[in-house]
A = this chain, B = another copy of it.
Amino acid sequence: MTKHHPELSLLFHALADPTRRSILTRLAETPARVSDLSAPTGLRLPTVMRHLSVLEEAGLIATSKDGRVRTCVIVPEALEPVRTWLDEQRAIWEGRLSRLDAFAMKTMKERAE
């Protein structure tokens, strides 16, 4: 199960950078042009471009160009695999804890005998 999920690696990697997360939260407000994203971060345009391409390859944003302006929008569904993975893990981890609980109960019972 979950042998190797390149999609997840891309997503987590994209989210691991604070600049990229701040770009995402900015885009969550409203779509923005590349320069709009450059100004507040204090980063140069090419740097922002690189971040954007990482985000786009992860599927977290989509961009389109109109004239000389590129507009970036967020892609909310892109976070689904992350959420799903988290839910799966939680299920497994809680399952494990239940088993440990069961084991502890059994052990205590045996001791009590």
Contact = CB atoms under 8 A, between A and B. Distances in A.
A47 interface: no
Q: Range of interface residues on chain A?
A: 20 to 34
Contact of A25 (B1, B25, B29): B1
B5 A12 contact: no
Contact of A16 (B12, B76, B92): B12
Contacts of A89: 24-25, 28, 79
Contact of A96 (B6, B28, B83): B28
A13 B89 CA distance: 17
Given A12-B12, A76-B90, A96 B2 contact: no
A5 B93 CA distance: 25
Interface string A8-43: 110011011110011011001110000000000000
Interface of A: 1-2, 4-6, 8-9, 12-13, 15-18, 21-22, 24-25, 28-30, 74, 76, 79, 82-83, 86, 89-90, 92-94, 96-97
